Amino acid sequence: MEIIPCLCLVLFALVLEGCSSAYDYYSTTAKLDRVNFDSAYWPGADSAIIAFAESDSVSAFNFNGYEPSSKKIKKLPAKDSTIQIISVTASFENSAEALSIKLGLQYKSTSDQYDWSARGIGQSLFVDIYGCTDYGCKNAEQVVVHNEDYSYTRLIKKDKFEISEPKEKFYVREHGYDCDVTKEYFFHVVVDDDEIKLDMDVQRGSETCLERDAICYGFCG
């Protein structure tokens, strides 16, 4: 009479053991594209910030990466560093001829990562680096800066920009197991032109990692 309950306990233990030791492995790929700014300034950005401040009645800002030049733009004191933040955003554009980076300004009322009320300010600026064919972009020949419709275009020659090695290491997420990292570009670029000021680290790459899910044969509690 006690055999059946014992068999049930054994089967239940086997099911739990199967759930805890068997996994389904699969690979996923994540981009490692990043642009980190020490500072940035470009024409039209200050005017866009002033117009935004007037339309939204914001008297002062904190800046993350952007350096305004207009005296009309007021900065908040350090104690208020978590509110009214304007940041520089960046993304890579598809281009067969140049390494193209799209820059923009973004406003958030707080630094809370769960605050999804970010708003764009002004027009985007595109930075096209020509001749950037190697990992450290040492072969770069010139930089062309323009807005989306090319109504504003400026050529930055080699004596107005400098490319060097970043101080930081190439960033990897390691979002899983046994990651295979592909490094495409990693360099620091400074543009010091009469109209354009940029100081940024540029990184492009990806990582492919294994991830796993538990395989359940029956009941997994």
- pLDDT, tens digit (0-9, with 9 covering 90-100), for 144-190: 999 999 999 999 999 999 999 999 999 999 898 899 999 999 999 99
SS3 string, 36-96, reads: EEEEEECCCHHHHHHHHHHHHCCCCEEEECCCCCCCCCCECCHHHCCEEEEEEEEEEECCC
DSSP 216: -
Q: Which residues contact 198 (CB under 8 A, 6 or more apart)?
A: 37, 39, 40, 41, 42, 127, 189, 190, 191
Share of residues in the chain with pLDDT > 70 (%): 86
67-88 residue pLDDT tens = 999 999 999 987 788 889 999 9
pLDDT of residue 6: 47
pLDDT in tens, 37-46: 999 999 899 9
Residue with the bigger pLDDT between 192 and 18: it is: 192
CA 185 – CA 64 distance, rounded (Å) = 24
DSSP characters over 115-159? ----EEEEEEEEEEEET--STT-TT--EEEEE-TTSSSEEEE-GG
Whole-number Å distance between alpha carbons of 50 and 47: 5
Structure tokens at 216: 């359940």
pLDDT at 213: 86
Q: Which residue has the tokens 């759930």?
A: 19
Confidence of residue 215 (pLDDT cuts 50, 70, 90): confident
Tokens of 215: 């395989």
- β-sheet bridge partners, residue 201: 36, 188
Q: What is residue 14's predicted lDDT score, i.e. its pLDDT? A: 44
Q: Is the pLDDT of residue 114 over 80?
A: no
Enclosing H/E stretch for 179: strand 177-192
Q: What is the mean pLDDT of residues 22-44?
A: 93
Check residue 21 and give its pLDDT: 58
Half-sphere exposure of 21 (CA within 13 A, CB side): 6
